[in-house]
Amino acid sequence: MRVAITFDVEHDCPPYLTTTRGMEEGLPRILDLLSEKGVKATFFFTAEMARRFPELVKRVIDEGHELGSHNYNHERLDRLNFDEGRRVIEKSLEVLRKFGDVVSFRAPNLQFPDEYYRVLEENKILVDSSKATYKGYRAGVKFFGNVLEVPASTTSSIIRLPWRIQRIIHSRLREPRVYFAHPWEFVPMQREKIRWDCRFNTGDKAVGLLGMLVDYYKRQGAEFLTMAEFYGEYGKLKRH
C-alpha cells in the first residue's frame, strides 16, 4: 500500500485571509509531528511563503522532506491566460530552486488546465499532483508526456472529520492514497470569517487527527512516499 502525505504551504485560507499564522505556528507543529512519527512528506510551497519564511523551507529540506512548487503567490491557473500562467510557474521555480531541487508541482485550488503539462516538462518538473479523484479525475497515476500525474485522493477537510467517520473513507480509497492539508488548518481558525468546512476541528484537533491518520497506515505496513519517490517507482515502469 502506497500513501503520500502532502501539504500546500500558503498564506492562511486564501482567498479569505492574508495572515500567516499557519506558517508561524502550524507548519512547525506539522514538522514536529512528522519527525516524531518518522514519516517524510511533500511540501508544496508558494514562492512568496518561501521568500518570507526561508528558515522553514530549510527545515523542511534538512529533515528529509520534499520541496515542491505551489505557484508564486497562489495564483489560480484557470484564471490566467497561458502566458501569465507560464510566467508565475517559472517565477515560482526560480525562487524555490535557490533552496534545492524542485521536481514536483501542485496548482492552487487543484485547478490545472492540461495545456500546462508542457510548461512543467519544459521546466524539468517530473511530477504533478494537481488533479483530484474527488473532483472527477479518473485516469489514475498516468504520464502526460514526461510528467507523471499523481492525483490527490480527498479534499483536505477529510482528515479533520471525526475519526470514526474518516476511517471509513480511508478504507474505501483506491491506491495510491494521496492526502493533502494546509499549515493554517493546524492553528485554531474557528473565529475566522471563512467557510465552515475550513474552520471545524482546526488547531490541536487537526494535529491529533493527522497523527491518527499516520498511525492508521503504519499499522497496515503502508509505504509513505514523496512525490519524487512516486516518480522513481513509476518512471521505472515507463522506461521498461
What tens digit of pLDDT does each residue of 71-110 get?
999 999 999 999 999 999 999 999 999 999 999 999 999 9
pLDDT at position 238 is 58
Q: Distance between CA 103 and CA 90 in Å, rounded?
A: 12
The per-residue pLDDT for 233 is 84
Q: Which of these ranges, 56-60, 94-98, 141-145, 183-187, has the smallest mean pLDDT?
A: 141-145
Between the alpha carbon of residue 134 and those of residues 169, 177, 208, the distances in Å are: 12, 12, 24
The pLDDT tens digits of the residues spanning 33-69 come to: 999 999 999 999 999 999 999 999 999 999 999 999 9
Mean pLDDT over 22-27 rounds to: 98
**DSSP labels, 7-53:** EEE-SSTTTT----HIIIIIHHHHHHHHHHHT---EEEE-HHHHHH-
Residue 3 is predicted with a pLDDT of: 97
- Average pLDDT on 144-157 reads 95
Q: What is residue 235's predicted lDDT score, i.e. its pLDDT?
A: 72
Residue 225 in this model has a pLDDT that exceeds 60 = yes
Q: Is the pLDDT of residue 21 over 60?
A: yes
* Cβ contact 226:66 at 8 Å: yes
> What is the average pLDDT across 149-168?
96
Q: Which domain holds residue 117?
A: 2-239
> Domain holding 106: CATH number?
3.20.20.370
Average pLDDT of the chain, as a whole number: 95
pLDDT of amino acid 115? 97
Q: How far apart are CA 230 and CA 141, in angstroms?
A: 9
Of 46, 127, 139, 53, the residue nearest 91 (C-alpha): 46
Q: What is the pLDDT of residue 69?
A: 98
Q: Write the single-letter amino acid at 167.
A: R
The model's pLDDT over 106-131, given as tens digits with 9 standing for 90+, comes to 999 999 999 999 999 999 999 999 99
Distance CA 130, CA 143 (A): 13
In this predicted structure, what is the pLDDT of residue 240? 42
Supply 170's cell numbers: 480511508
Domain count, the chain: 1
Mean local confidence (pLDDT), 194-210: 96
* pLDDT score of 237 more than 70: no
